[in-house]
Chains A and B, each alone.
Chain A
Amino acid sequence: MANALEIKNISVIYGEGTPFRKAALKNISTAFPQGEITGIIGHTGSGKSTLASLLNGLSKATEGEVLLFGENIWAKPKEMKKIRSRVGLVFQYPEYQLFDETVESDIAFGPKNIGLDAEEIKSRVRLAAEFCGLSEKELKRSPFELSGGQKRRAAIAGVLAMRPEIIVLDEPAAGLDPKGREEILSGLVEYKNRYGATLIIISHSMEDIAKYADRILVMKDGEIYMQGTVEEIFIQAERLFDAKLDLPQITKLFIELKKRGLCESTDVYTVGYAKKEIQKNITK
């Protein structure tokens, strides 16, 4: 599969020449294959969010380039708007960006800015709201009347309505209740499957990453510390602990079970797989 996004030798340095100089990213390169979900994990301050804002050209790296389907996104700075509609970026706590009178017109803000016609905008707004689990009634309300979780959905729908090929999400489910998390993330996966989109999800939740990601990128101190499939990453518990990260809770449970001789495998990363594994052990 082709690479939807690729970054080459990216460095980002803040405050060059002042007492506040800080290298946020240090010469990193990686690729995000089309149609896959890449999870980015890392301790606070490891450069995850900085990386996210580079991917749709909101900020420019001090050095290095970002390639969208092989083309440098900074090749034509005047067409940046187009790049941003193709690479959707959902910030941390996106609910703070809501501003319009109704949820519907707020979601329509992005598509309107691209210059779509009214019919198209309307259908896209409906569809985006559906993916994010917002009802018709909620679309007519003011975004400031919604609950925190619904606001989050509205904000994510505002990006989905642009129908991006790649969506970068910075902690899309942070601070939500378990059911809300589940619904938002599965809605995104549904969107991905429908349009063959590529997802890049930054998260602190090892459980979410283990469940949804195809590939994991571990960041530490502005560098890519590890990358690989879910199995390849979570098998290296020691290295994860070094990056001040953790294993999914279910994996930790299985490690304990193995210590007590109750099961053999410790490569269990999701609850669904754990269920099968336990049933297998019981029938034995």
Chain B
Amino acid sequence: MLKDVTFGQYYPGNSLLHRTDPRIKMLILIEYLVLVLVAKSELAALISLAFTAFLIAVSGVRLRVLIKSVKPLIFVLAFTAIINLFFTVGEGEPLIEWSFITVYSSGVRNAVMMLLRLLSLVLGTSVLISFTTSPLELTDAIEALLSPLKKIKVPVHEFAMMMSIALRFIPTLIEETNKIISAQKARCADFESGKLLERIKALIPILIPLFVSAVRRAEELADAMECRCYNGGEGRTKLKAMKSRPTDYVFLFAATVVTVAVFLANRLQFSEILTLCKAIF
């Protein structure tokens, strides 16, 4: 029942992105989100696409895996594209005008841009973070980046710890759910047929044992942590201290340059670039 959870799952590997400092990756992620979302002109969109392609290339994640991760989003992607295609009211003559359907050239442009933007967002973030950063590295990075907030008494360490425990227990709970589903199936439980209400009722034998065991696990974990003298982040050191290497800074710098380039490219019209090119050559 719960088998395909590739979307947002770590793939072990040793690519450039795997080796990059997770803190740097978080910063690059912020820049990446900004540049994808602000890219408006054609040139800017091209730059952001190229950067996405570059990220995918250096992540070492296989294309088949990526396609699989996009699959569940096909409906959303198609929906946004269609909405943009038909509901953009542009200037000038419409391209197609047939009964209630009118398509303007700017509609086509918007649809394509939106589609590419969403695809880039999903693919870029998943290769930057989900596929190449283990959950532990991720929370460590968040904790490190937010640590200035400790000065104003924000319990950053506790939040990070809660987050890593939550992430850590997702696979455990999925496994647990599958086990309970199997156990109830072995008692001839039926989850696949019947009316909606019956199907909802059929979930009770899964949900109750799941909640009971989640609470039990939480208590056990709290006990185990206390037995090992856990008392929060005060003076705690890391097993794997994060280290930034020169290449990480080069990477960060490159991402910054690309972001700036996107902002600049937004200001230029495509025609202006063409005349610029002509003037040069």
A residues with a Cβ closer than 8 A to B are 19, 53, 56, 58, 81, 84-85, 88-91, 94, 96-100, 109-110, 113-114, 144, 158-159, 162
Query: B205: CB under 8 A from chain A?
Result: yes
Give the total of B residues in contact with A, Cβ under 8 Å: 21
Q: Assuming A19-B11, A19-B12, A109-B205, is B180 touching A96 (CB within 8 A)?
A: yes
- When the two chains form their complex, are residues B183 and A94 in contact, meaning their CB atoms are under 8 A apart? yes
A19-B11, A96-B180, A99-B204 are contacts. A162–B209 as well, Cβ < 8 Å? no
Write 16 A-B pairs (CB below 8 A) sorted by A numbering. Answer: A19-B12, A81-B188, A84-B185, A89-B186, A90-B186, A91-B182, A94-B183, A96-B213, A97-B180, A97-B183, A99-B204, A99-B209, A109-B184, A110-B187, A113-B189, A159-B187
> Given that A81-B188, A110-B188, A113-B190 are known contacts, is A99 also in contact with B183, CB under 8 Å in the complex?
no
Do the beta carbons of B183 and A91 come within 8 Å of each other? Answer: yes
B189 lies within 8 A of A91 (CB)? no
Question: Nearest Cβ distance between residue A38 and chain B, in whole angstroms?
Answer: 18
B208 at the A interface (CB under 8 A): yes
- Bitwise interface map of B from 148 to 190 toward A, beta carbon under 8 Å scored 1, else 0: 0000000000000000000000000000100110111111111
User: Which B residues lie within 8 Å of A159 (CB)?
Assistant: 186-187
Which A residue's beta carbon lies closest to that of B12? Answer: A19
Given A96-B209, A109-B187, A113-B189, answer yes or no on A58-B182 (Cβ-Cβ < 8 Å).
yes
A162–B205 CB distance below 8 A: no
Residues of chain A lying within 8 A (CB to CB) of residue B190 = 81, 113
Secondary structure dominating the interface of B: helix
Q: In the complex, A273 Cα to B188 Cα: how many Å?
A: 41
B280 at the interface (CB under 8 A from A): no
CA distance in complex: A278, B205 (Å): 52
Task: Write out the residue numbers on chain B whose beta carbons fall within 8 Å of the beta carbon of A53.
Answer: 182
Please tell me if B212 contacts chain A, counting CB pairs below 8 Å.
yes
Interchain nearest-CB distance for B76 vs A (Å): 26
A97 in complex: contacting residue of B12, B184, B188, CB < 8 Å: B184
Cβ–Cβ contact B187 & A158, under 8 A: yes
Which chain B residue shows the least CB distance to A114?
B188
Q: Using a CB-CB cutoff of 8 Å, which residues 1-30 of chain B contact chain A? A: 11-13
Residues of A within 8 A of B209 (CB): 96-99
Which residues of chain A are near B184, meaning CB under 8 Å? 97, 109
List 19 additional contacts besides A96-B213, A99-B208; criterion CB under 8 Å.
Answer: A19-B13, A84-B185, A84-B187, A85-B188, A89-B186, A91-B183, A94-B183, A96-B179, A96-B180, A96-B212, A97-B184, A97-B205, A99-B204, A109-B184, A109-B187, A113-B189, A158-B187, A159-B187, A162-B187
Residue-wise, chain B 184-217 has the 8 Å CB interface mask toward A (1 for contact) of 1111111000000000000011001100110000
Residue of chain B at shortest CB distance from A84: B188
How far is B182's CA from A84's CA once the two chains are assembled, in angstroms?
11
Bound: A94/B186 CA distance, A? 11
User: Chain A residue with minimal CB distance to B186?
Assistant: A89
Enumerate the 7 nearest inter-chain pairs by beta-carbon distance, A residue then B residue, closest first: A113-B188, A97-B183, A110-B187, A99-B208, A89-B186, A99-B205, A81-B188
CB distance from B30 to the nearest CB of A (A): 29
For residue B68, give the distance in angstroms from its CB to the closest CB of chain A: 10
Pairwise interchain contact A58-B186, C-beta atoms closer than 8 A = yes
Q: Which residues of B contact A56 (CB under 8 A)?
A: 186
B residues near A158, Cβ cutoff 8 Å:
187
Residues of B within 8 A of A97 (CB): 180, 183-184, 187, 205, 209
The residue among B13, B180, B183, B186 with the most chain A CB atoms within 10 A of its own CB is B186
**What is the minimal beta-carbon distance from B153 to any residue of chain A, in angstroms?**
40
Q: How far is the CA of A168 from the CA of B13 in the complex (A)?
A: 40
Q: In the complex, what residues of B have CB within 8 A of residue A114's CB?
A: 188
Residues of B within 8 A of A90 (CB): 186
Q: Which residues of A contact B188 (CB under 8 A)?
A: 81, 84-85, 110, 113-114, 162
Determine whether the beta carbon of A88 is less than 8 Å from that of B186.
Answer: yes
Residue from A85, A96, A162 with most neighbouring chain B CB atoms (10 Å): A96
Enumerate chain B residues within 8 angstroms of A109, measured Cβ to Cβ: 184, 187, 189, 205
CB distance from B218 to the nearest CB of A (A): 15
Whether A144 contacts B189 in the complex (CB less than 8 A), given A91-B183, A99-B204, A99-B205, comes out as no
B62 to A: closest C-beta gap in Å = 9
- A124 to chain B minimum Cβ distance, whole angstroms, is 13
Bound: A100/B189 CA distance, A: 14
**What are the residues of chain A within 8 A of B186 when measuring CB–CB?**
56, 58, 84, 88-91, 159
